[in-house]
């Protein structure tokens, strides 16, 4: 954490005590964004006046005794979450000009605890990417640790700004196959991706509805945990949401950590494996027991199962974008199919088209059972494999990514399949909806390597406690 940056909890206490002005803090962070966003492009949408208007109103309320778990805390929102009255495009041209008339539940909950919304952070179009380079709205966000490299994706702007800012801040982000863990790893910040359903998806522009999870990033595990506790909970607007109760960080005695051998073996870069193992074994000094565990099916079939489900669901979810009701539109010409085709062909980017085509193919008559249904059955098997491992260990630990943040010049050379394969480590937990946290494990070539910790369904407390323990290890 930067020296001058207070943790969220301390910051809120200072604001409540009147020692920090929420308005002055908001002004400073706005100045920082104005100064740096032209270069780093972490925000797709930012309006200083919108931020200061919230801060002024909040300042008055604080003087009248307003309380809140995020009192005066500036938060950034990934572009794919609806923020009332603020252009929200999910990184896509097809949502150009769309200003939601309501807040996503996660955003509304943060506001109700006194958070100040900064703006919308850059991402791959609808989350379709690992490096935040596949967008048709906004710019490619730059990694603050090395501007020639990716922030990771798809929540690249969220992680990039969390690493860059000198001020107290948390980021609300979203993960379908690793879109929180990957950028958090590449930018060296802490993150939490909860069990599917722990955070309501109401107001999320979905990528794949059985995989999407809203989570948080912060400079520390405690910051991301606090954010999660604010935005989580059962929501009548999302029938798949769960009442999980608050996640609590506690000191874990005799924690058992499993290292998945097949997954580790499939990471080609030995230096990344070694760095992660060094961090994992350092936990033994705190009484942790480290053992090898087996996840052969998740390692072998995770990517195929994930991408089949994700693309199939994406192709139906994106069917609603057609140049009517909201977003990008053209002059109404031709019959409806001609008009819809014209709008979609112009406004979707290359990766979105590729995934729509693959997903439509996998759901077509004659192929659906062999592809989509098979992947859904494979998911059952992969979830059961995780559960067996969690009957023996508390958490599983491994590198979040098999690579350090790549240079943009390296990303350009990747084929789509190579691009998808980079998600090797993050996809199994996401496919199986297991909660996972990331912390920095160390540095290679001055670039961060993230450690990913995964626990069984609804064990957010366990995964956050393990992450906090790892974070505290020197």
Partner 1 sequence: MPKAKVDKELLLKVAANSRLKLTESEIKKFLPQLSAVLDSFSKLDSLDVSKEEPSFQPVAIKNVFREDKAGKSISQDAALSNTTHKKDGYFKGPRVV
For the bound state, the minimum distance from the C-beta of residue 315 to partner 1, rounded and expressed in Å, comes to: 7
d(CA 362, CA 372) in angstroms, rounded, equals 6
Per-residue tokens: 464: 């956050």
d(CA 80, CA 88) in angstroms, rounded, equals 7
For the bound state, the minimum distance from the C-beta of residue 385 to partner 1, rounded and expressed in Å, comes to: 11
| Cβ(164)–Cβ(182) below 8 Å | no
For the bound state, the minimum distance from the C-beta of residue 115 to partner 1, rounded and expressed in Å, comes to: 23
Residue for token pair 């599917």: 196
Q: Which of 76, 92, 150, 179 is catalytic?
A: 179
Q: Which of 78, 213, 219, 279 is catalytic?
A: 78
Residue for token pair 């980021």: 171
Q: Closer to partner 1 by CB, 234 or 281: give it.
A: 234
SS3 assignment, position 101: coil
Q: Closer to partner 1 by CB, 322 or 447: give it.
A: 322
H-helix segments, 128-213: 156-164, 181-187
Q: Closer to partner 1 by CB, 148 or 388: give it.
A: 388
Q: Closer to partner 1 by CB, 162 or 454: give it.
A: 454
For the bound state, the minimum distance from the C-beta of residue 87 to partner 1, rounded and expressed in Å, comes to: 10
Q: Closer to partner 1 by CB, 106 or 163: give it.
A: 106
For the bound state, the minimum distance from the C-beta of residue 335 to partner 1, rounded and expressed in Å, comes to: 6
Burial readout 195-218 (b: 16 or more C-beta within 10 A, e: otherwise): bbbbbbbbbbbbbbebbbbbbbbb
CA atoms 349, 351, 352, 357: torsion sign: positive
SS3 assignment, position 187: helix
d(CA 419, CA 177) in angstroms, rounded, equals 13
Could you count the other beta carbons within 10 Å of the beta carbon of residue 261?
15
For the bound state, the minimum distance from the C-beta of residue 342 to partner 1, rounded and expressed in Å, comes to: 7
Q: Closer to partner 1 by CB, 137 or 383: give it.
A: 383
Q: Closer to partner 1 by CB, 31 or 338: give it.
A: 338
Q: Closer to partner 1 by CB, 262 or 329: give it.
A: 329
Q: Closer to partner 1 by CB, 12 or 263: give it.
A: 263
For the bound state, the minimum distance from the C-beta of residue 97 to partner 1, rounded and expressed in Å, comes to: 7
Q: Which of 76, 88, 154, 191 is catalytic?
A: 154
d(CA 194, CA 129) in angstroms, rounded, equals 20
For the bound state, the minimum distance from the C-beta of residue 68 to partner 1, rounded and expressed in Å, comes to: 25
d(CA 94, CA 322) in angstroms, rounded, equals 8
Judge if the upstream peptide bond of residue 154 is cis by omega within 30 degrees of 0: yes
For the bound state, the minimum distance from the C-beta of residue 432 to partner 1, rounded and expressed in Å, comes to: 6
Helix or strand holding residue 317 (H, E): helix 296-317
Annotated catalytic residue 36: no
Task: Please state the length of the chain.
Answer: 474
Annotated catalytic residue 78: yes
Annotated catalytic residue 179: yes
Strand partners of residue 292: 259
| Cβ(162)–Cβ(189) below 8 Å | yes
Q: Which of 203, 222, 230 is nearest to 470 (CA)?
A: 222
d(CA 467, CA 473) in angstroms, rounded, equals 10
Burial readout 3-42 (b: 16 or more C-beta within 10 A, e: otherwise): eebbbbbebbebbbeeebbbbebbeebbebbeebbeebbb
Question: CB burial class (10 A; 0-12, 13-18, 19+) of residue 139?
Answer: middle
The angle formed by the CA atoms of residues 424, 426 and 77, to the nearest 5 degrees, is 135
User: Which are the catalytic amino acids?
Assistant: 78, 154, 179
């Amino acid at each position: 954490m930067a020296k001058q940056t207070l943790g969220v909890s301390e910051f809120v206490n200072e604001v409540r005590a009147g020692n920090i002005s929420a308005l002055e803090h908001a002004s400073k962070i706005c100045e920082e964004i104005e100064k740096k966003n032209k270069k780093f492009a972490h925000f797709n949408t930012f309006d200083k006046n919108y931020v200061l208007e919230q801060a002024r109103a909040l300042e008055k309320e604080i003087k009248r005794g307003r309380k809140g778990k995020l009192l005066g805390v500036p938060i950034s929102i990934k572009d794919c979450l609806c923020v009332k009255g603020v252009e929200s495009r999910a990184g896509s041209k097809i949502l150009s000009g769309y200003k939601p008339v309501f807040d996503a539940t996660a955003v509304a909950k943060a506001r109700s605890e006194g958070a100040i919304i900064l703006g919308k952070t850059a991402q791959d179009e609808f989350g379709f990417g690992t490096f935040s380079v596949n967008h048709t709205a906004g710019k490619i966000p730059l990694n603050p640790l090395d501007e020639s490299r990716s922030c990771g994706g798809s929540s690249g702007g969220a992680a990039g700004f969390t690493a860059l800012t000198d001020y107290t801040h948390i980021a609300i982000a979203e993960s379908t196959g690793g879109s929180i863990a990957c950028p958090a790893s590449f930018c060296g910040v802490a993150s939490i991706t909860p069990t599917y359903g722990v955070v309501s998806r109401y107001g999320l522009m979905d990528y794949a509805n059985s995989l999407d999870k809203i989570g948080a990033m912060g400079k520390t595990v405690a910051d991301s945990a606090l954010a999660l506790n604010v935005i989580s909970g059962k929501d009548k607007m999302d029938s798949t949401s769960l009442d999980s109760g608050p996640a609590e960080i506690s000191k874990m005695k005799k924690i058992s950590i499993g290292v998945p051998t097949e997954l580790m073996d499939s990471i080609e870069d030995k230096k990344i494996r070694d760095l992660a193992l060094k961090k994992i074994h350092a936990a033994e000094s705190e009484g942790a027991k480290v053992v090898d565990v087996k996840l052969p099916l998740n390692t072998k079939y995770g990517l195929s199962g994930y991408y089949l489900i994700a693309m199939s669901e994406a192709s139906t979810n994106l069917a609603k974008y057609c140049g009517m009701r909201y977003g990008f539109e053209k002059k109404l010409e031709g019959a409806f199919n001609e008009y819809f085709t014209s709008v979609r062909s112009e406004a979707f980017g290359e990766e979105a088209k590729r995934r729509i085509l693959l997903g439509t193919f996998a759901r077509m008559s004659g192929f659906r059972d062999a592809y989509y249904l098979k992947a859904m059955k494979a998911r059952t098997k992969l979830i059961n494999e995780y559960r067996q491992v969690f009957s023996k260990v508390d958490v599983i630990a491994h590198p979040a990514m098999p690579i350090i943040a790549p240079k943009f010049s390296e990303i350009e050379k990747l084929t789509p399949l190579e691009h998808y394969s980079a998600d090797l480590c993050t996809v199994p937990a996401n496919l199986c909806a297991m909660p996972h946290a990331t912390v920095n494990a160390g540095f290679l070539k001055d670039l961060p390597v993230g450690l990913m910790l995964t626990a069984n369904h609804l064990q957010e407390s366990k995964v956050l406690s393990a992450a906090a323990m790892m974070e505290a290890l020197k």
